[in-house]
A and B are shown apart, each in its own frame.
Chain A
Amino acid sequence: MTDASTRISDQDSLWYKDAIIYELHVRAFQDSNGDGMGDFRGLTQRLDHLEQLGVTALWLLPFYPSPLKDDGYDISDYTSIHPSYGTLDDFRTFLDAAHTRGLKVITELVLNHTSDQHTWFQESRSSRDNSRRDWYVWSDSVDRYQQARIIFLDSELSNWAWDPVSRSYYWHRFFSHQPDLNFDCPAVREEMWKVMRFWLEMGVDGFRVDAVPYLVEREGTSCESLPETHEVLKSLRRRIDESFAGKILLAEANQWPSDVRPYFGDGDECHMAFHFPLMPRMFMAVRLEDRKPIIDILEQTPQIPETCQWATFLRNHDELTLEMVTDEERDYMYDEYAKDKSARLNLGIRRRLAPLMENDRRRIELMTSMLLSLPGTPIIYYGDEIGMGDNLYLGDRNGVRTPMQWSGGWNAGFSTADPEQLYSALISNPVYGYQVVNRESQRRSEHSLLSWTQHILGVRKSSRVFSRGSIEFLSAANHRVLAYVRQWNNERVLVVNNLSSSAQAAELDLRHLAGSIPIELFGGSLFPRIGQAPYLLTLGPYQFYWFRLRRF
């Protein structure tokens, strides 16, 4: 079990299964030119931090030219860099530097729609005879596809929007300034493949594919997850495999696991997909002090092909989405995690990990422990490794997208610009302000959250049992204790988590592991050999153990 033995190599086409992904926004990470906005040169300067932290892949939020009406998901040019973030050369430099450090890079691929400012749409709307007219979905009436739901109910009345230029309606599943591309048009599919090839040839290691369920529309259906949509994805996957082995597709489909399952196909569609429903249930379990929500959802999670992997996360750039929970569960989450109603947004809670855990280090560690020891490839949101806070006074989800806090100095070390010039105000309150929560101060302490995170990531990477192993839940009678055994080949790890704020005793039935000696993975301590009797463990509040099980 050495780091070296499992170091992710370019030769390993399943690298994504062992990866630890770090999600970041270029704009929020590091400003190199003093304009108040992060950029690729700045990000490149900060790669040391990411390498030392121990993550193995970076997921970059959209960095393309865009009117930025939807935080960059409204792309107006797929093969360039937004001028605020630098140039293509800057990106290439960053990419090379990341690869040199063994870091993979995953970028955003917004297939479903473009900005209405994209030249493709400008041409398409210019006349009904334009050669790009059928690149988008046009109609003379709003009667088509009436069974498709409206996703952004707060802001959109219809999935059709009137275009005064060509005097017809265009289809949009998201905002009306984001017209949907028409994937029934071969030219569109070809053009999007060109976009993908552009970045893959540059060296990008994969794409997070935005809003995958909505690519194709058919009359009389919900226009979601249609067979034709899967065919588009399979086709793209075939082309990737033919020319770019080892590059991946990560599907974003906020749906129940059984509904996401088809996006893996027979291992011939997406390599990965987010497991959305697990995340709120981890928060729920810790507040309820009951393992039931976690076990329930993982038992509902279907098997996926050997070459596929779930992507799991605690927090990301969006709100803590509560779409995949019941009404009762949503009410509970709101009551427990968003008593301040300003924290509620859409069907979710716009907060970071540390404020959600009330800055309780033990709970933050427990949540991280579960994220890293349950099946799936974990994704860490930038700033959570140091326990950054959020700013509810900023609108939409901007409160969780504030500048990274590098130090207690000028602008938190993020930028040399005047503070007023920053794209967003820094967090500066007495609890989470950059003066107290920053990378520099935590780097100096062996006991900081940053140091601890670095350590646990190292332990996670020390064995593929966490990334590839099977899971078997142990039915400890104490429901406040979540215990499971991960197994991969001959390796076994026993994980025991106390979800409660009080000390707990747990008796585990480990008879099938009798003879094994548990070795605590963080300190290397030996525990008594497992026998036929129930194995008794006591755990302090929110404490957890990771044991490697060995036979001697």
Chain B
Amino acid sequence: MMKANPIAIEPGVPGPEPAELPDDFLRQLTAAGEVDILLFVPSLNNRDTIGHVMNALQLGLVKYFPRERTAVLNADGGSHDGTPQVVRDSIITDFRAFLAANPLRTMHRITAAYDNSKGSWGALELLLSAAELMRAKACAVVSPDLLSIAPEWVESLVRPIRRQEFDFVAPIYHRHKYEGLLIKNLVAPVFRAAYGFRIREPMGSEFAFSGQLASRLLESGGWQQRCCEVGPALGVMAAAIANDYRTCQSFLGPRIYQSRRQEPDLVQVFQDSVGALFQGLEADHACWANRDGSSQVPTFGFEYSVALQPVRVSRKRLLQGFRLGVEELGAILEAILAPDTWRAVQDLGKLSDGGFHFPDELWVRVVYEFAASYHRSVLARDHLLQALLPLYRGKVFSFVMETERATTAEVENRLEELCLACERLKPYLVERWSQEK
């Protein structure tokens, strides 16, 4: 049974003084007034895609929430490619060309700039301030680089809050079996075991939350710090779960976005994502330590399937990366992992290519030992996360080999086994976590 231990949001703890909102932004909020739905698109050099995203959002509001008071807020982090102008120009003057509907109300678009030096928190802070001032009932965050967004996404994200009184909506994306491997093999299983909720995308870029939750978040200084550290999506969701806000997930469909010229490499993505996960565990320890098992989360939307672009995985590089890491990082891994675990990992390195198999239980023990070491600050956290990366590559290689011919359903079953292993071994995480530093 789960035991709630709501500690994550601490209204009594004053947060850092929020930056004073610019007059022009306040003027726009005054003009829009109270809203039922506030959609948020943070941007930074997204000129090519943001117009499409803005149109999809506006059409979604017209189609699914024609009576609601709505606004779309764009916060720009200092684009130099003309993104704000594209936002200002994205006025759909004739909805009848797209829909058999016409908005009953004025549709507001609010543009503002956020302090990019604060990272994604700077944008989220702006959203929360706007939500508070506009008394928004529901807020949704949408990425500016989406190519696959459709008006239906607005309904999927917002309806559970507006019509069914949920407080947080996580996305479910339709993914190729080798897309989102880090989420599938590490982040989601650990998050589920720790927090006790079967959320498939704990770090989904699109999510929605209630105005009530937004207000609580804004007034909680402790949470703001955490959000800076773990990122908006995970931060808001963890806060919702830790405080027993009603959480659900909604199917959005395939998530196709425009590639950036300089895509962050796997090392960076790994450090950001796993670092955020471990940081969240650190902050919410009191919340998750006593939770057992996991609960289903209400899920909305019809999970249709479409043919997706195959994701190519270089098996050779994965295995090489694993073996090289085990060989070169031996001293570090030995300091982090328990002796039995380290021996088992070394044994994996000796397996032939065709006979390589990274057992779930071993992988879970590895991750939990790294998480505990992260908590205990055994060594510099960046270095620690870098040391986990080769082992992750080995796990992914094993997963790819196992699921090469598997159907989507078989892959799902395979991942469920991993999740159950995480839950089964959670006492081990708690035990390692509690050991003296």
Q: In chain A between 509 and 533, which residues have their CB closer than 8 angstroms to a CB of chain B?
A: none
Category for how many chain A residues contact B:
20 to 34
Q: Is A477 within 8 A of B33, CB to CB?
A: no
- Binary interface encoding of chain A residues 460-482 relative to chain B, with 1 for a CB under 8 A from any of its CBs, else 0: 00000000000000001111100
Q: Please name all residues of chain B whose beta carbon is closer than 8 Å to the beta carbon of A477 when the two chains form the complex.
A: 27-28, 30-31
Q: Is B33 within 8 A of A500, CB to CB?
A: yes
Within the complex, which residue of B27, B34, B104 is in contact with A332, where a contact is CB–CB below 8 Å?
B104
Q: Is B31 within 8 A of A290, CB to CB?
A: no
- Binary interface encoding of chain B residues 361-387 relative to chain A, with 1 for a CB under 8 A from any of its CBs, else 0: 000000000000000000000000000
CA distance in complex: A43, B31 (Å): 49
| B103 touches A (CB below 8 Å) | yes
B121 CB to closest chain A CB (Å) equals: 28
Q: Is B31 within 8 A of A326, CB to CB?
A: no
Q: Is A478 within 8 A of B31, CB to CB?
A: yes
Q: In chain B between 11 and 39, which residues have their CB closer than 8 angstroms to a CB of chain A?
A: 27-28, 30-34
CA distance in complex: A394, B436 (Å): 83
CA distance in complex: A219, B108 (Å): 49
| A505 touches B (CB below 8 Å) | yes
Q: In chain A between 6 and 55, which residues have their CB closer than 8 angstroms to a CB of chain B?
A: none
Q: Please name all residues of chain B whose beta carbon is closer than 8 Å to the beta carbon of A289 when the two chains form the complex.
A: 69
Within the complex, which residue of A293, A329, A478 is in contact with B33, where a contact is CB–CB below 8 Å?
A478
B135 CB to closest chain A CB (Å) equals: 11
CA distance in complex: A507, B26 (Å): 13
| B67 touches A (CB below 8 Å) | yes
Q: Please name all residues of chain A whose beta carbon is closer than 8 Å to the beta carbon of B66 when the two chains form the complex.
A: 328, 332
Q: Tell me how many residues of B have a C-beta within 8 Å of chain A.
A: 17
Q: Which B residue sits closest to A292, measured CB to CB?
A: B106
Within the complex, which residue of A290, A476, A502, A507 is in contact with B105, where a contact is CB–CB below 8 Å?
A290
| B5 touches A (CB below 8 Å) | no
B186 CB to closest chain A CB (Å) equals: 46
| A441 touches B (CB below 8 Å) | no
B96 CB to closest chain A CB (Å) equals: 10
Binding site for A on B (CB under 8 A): 27-28, 30-34, 66-67, 69, 101-106, 108
Q: Is B101 within 8 A of A328, CB to CB?
A: yes
CA distance in complex: A264, B101 (Å): 30
Within the complex, which residue of B27, B30, B106 is in contact with A291, where a contact is CB–CB below 8 Å?
B106
| A142 touches B (CB below 8 Å) | no
CA distance in complex: A535, B30 (Å): 15
Q: Please name all residues of chain A whose beta carbon is closer than 8 Å to the beta carbon of B33 when the two chains form the complex.
A: 478-480, 500, 504
Q: Please name all residues of chain B whose beta carbon is closer than 8 Å to the beta carbon of A290 when the two chains form the complex.
A: 69, 104-106
B61 CB to closest chain A CB (Å) equals: 13
Q: Which A residue sits closest to B28, measured CB to CB?
A: A477
Instruction: Write 20 A-B pairs (CB below 8 A) sorted by A numbering.
Output: A284-B104, A288-B67, A290-B104, A290-B106, A292-B106, A293-B104, A326-B102, A329-B104, A332-B66, A476-B31, A478-B31, A478-B33, A479-B31, A479-B33, A479-B106, A479-B108, A500-B33, A502-B34, A505-B30, A507-B27
A475 CB to closest chain B CB (Å) equals: 10
Q: Please name all residues of chain A whose beta carbon is closer than 8 Å to the beta carbon of B30 when the two chains form the complex.
A: 477-478, 505
CA distance in complex: A291, B105 (Å): 8
CA distance in complex: A289, B68 (Å): 11
Q: Is B28 within 8 A of A288, CB to CB?
A: no
B316 CB to closest chain A CB (Å) equals: 58
Q: Please name all residues of chain B whose beta carbon is closer than 8 Å to the beta carbon of A507 when the two chains form the complex.
A: 27
Q: Please name all residues of chain A whose beta carbon is closer than 8 Å to the beta carbon of B103 when the two chains form the complex.
A: 292
Q: Please name all residues of chain B whose beta carbon is closer than 8 Å to the beta carbon of A476 when the two chains form the complex.
A: 31
B212 CB to closest chain A CB (Å) equals: 20
CA distance in complex: A293, B67 (Å): 12
A332-B67, A477-B27, A507-B27 known; A288 vs B32 contact (CB < 8 Å): no
CA distance in complex: A332, B108 (Å): 20
Q: Please name all residues of chain B whose beta carbon is closer than 8 Å to the beta carbon of A480 when the two chains form the complex.
A: 33
Which of A479, A500, A502 has most B Cβ within 10 Å? A479
Which of B27, B28, B108 has most A Cβ within 10 Å? B27
Q: Please name all residues of chain A whose beta carbon is closer than 8 Å to the beta carbon of B106 when the two chains form the complex.
A: 290-292, 479
Q: Is B108 within 8 A of A326, CB to CB?
A: no
CA distance in complex: A502, B104 (Å): 20
CA distance in complex: A478, B69 (Å): 13
A88 CB to closest chain B CB (Å) equals: 50
Q: Is A288 within 8 A of B104, CB to CB?
A: yes
CA distance in complex: A292, B27 (Å): 19
Q: Please name all residues of chain B whose beta carbon is closer than 8 Å to the beta carbon of A292 when the two chains form the complex.
A: 103-106
